[in-house]
Structure 1
Amino acid sequence: MTTPPPSRSLQRLRDLTSARVGLGRAGASLPTGALLEFTLAHARARDAVHAAFDGPALISGLDGLGLETLAVSSCARERTDYLRRPDLGRKLDQVSRQLLASRNAGPCRLAIVVGDGLSPAAVNAHAVALVRSLMPRLAGERIEIEHAVVASGARVALGDEIGAMLGARMVVVLIGERPGLSAPDSLGAYLTFAPRPGVTDAERNCVSNIHGAGLGYDEAAFRIAWLVHEGLARGVTGVALKDESGGPIAQRIATD
């Protein structure tokens, strides 16, 4: 049994979204092509979760941008522990705490943490390029990244402890987002003012979906820089800080 070609309106909808719509059917099941595409997407998502985190390459890339980068680890030593025990990914191990404590860091405005998260593949692919685009935008606001940290076994909240130990007024965590069936390599940026253990997600801002078919580096950097500047100026992030940057997306909508 063959699947009839999609209607014109359905084809236009497909052109506008990566969602799986109007896949058709073969008897009581999906057509073979649609099933194979789904299976491949699922495999890519699983591979992204278990991809090796290339910490040395990230450190080299960030150092090449003029940042002095530290390497730390969470209490989640193995990937299986990381996936089964999210709490372990929110706490630094003892060696990392000692390393950060030995820095004797004074107060600073901004620290950046690059963590593997649920898609190391996304971080490996996008983190350095995003920081490269972000730095000149921050410089335009007279803000510099004073500390850079690469963290393995990281959940978003690991940045709270790192930021607190570094005396940062704000921390930006770049981390791999949970892989989806259309985007296994999506990067997220989480911004927290006055980071400290116990901060809730309501006190963070997020710029997400940063990848080749999603939010581009320049646009993401524009939004992150605006949120950093306004967060520092107002002393807040999260639900108290709305993205009113009027960035490229907003400008396109206004002119459409």
Structure 2
Amino acid sequence: MLTISTFSLILLKSVSRAMNTDYFKTQLVVTVAGLLAALVLSFIDYESIASFWYLIAGFSVFIMLYTMLFGISVQGSEGVNARAWISLAGRTFQTSELVKICFMLTYAKHISVLRVQNKINHPLHVVLLALHAAVPVLLCHVQGDDGAAIVFFFMFLCMSLGGGVQLRYFILLGALVAVSVPVLWKFVLSEYQIKRFTSVYNLDDPSIQLNEGYQQVQGRISIGSGQLTGKGLFNGPRVETNLVTFQHSDF
């Protein structure tokens, strides 16, 4: 964790050269705060925390609904419209990040109870586990933050597998997902989301290069210009000129 955090800080220090906001300082503060919080929590029995699952679950639903109704809406090009942040001490805060921790606790408690009762692979309880995970997934989707919804879905898969849910249920889920893909593509995904899939295969199209494929094209050029060894830390000319949009974020 320290290695990953240090690496991210170095990258953000480089990226901050091209921006008015010093993301390095922001990340450094939250990294230290996160490590201190993890240290404090490590002295508390996780079973004691999980025993308050109903409060944790209620808080999670409340804060997600609050964000949905009163949060900050971020609108972008091509139809992006997500309301997944709240204002906190003059900064924006993505509430689903906190709910991820809450979900780990409530879902682990759910699995633990079923294991004690020897019901972890009873069909009804497997369905109830899926419904448990569906709550944050659907709330994130309604917020317009499908990226977070996907993270919750994979948390559900990994924790279920680690918790002892039999492989046959994963095979069944995979079959259901495969069957539902055409329906999702036709009726659930927004136009901008479909373009994110299709643009990757049409990056040589000039119209796509200037629109939905801009970030991908500029990223590809940046990687190519660095070749094998790169331009050198804090020396990247394309970083300094901020050619790749949102280069301080996931990209």
TM-score normalised by the chain length of structure 2? 0.28
Rg larger in 1 or in 2?
2
Question: What TM-score do you get using the length of structure 1 for normalisation?
Answer: 0.28
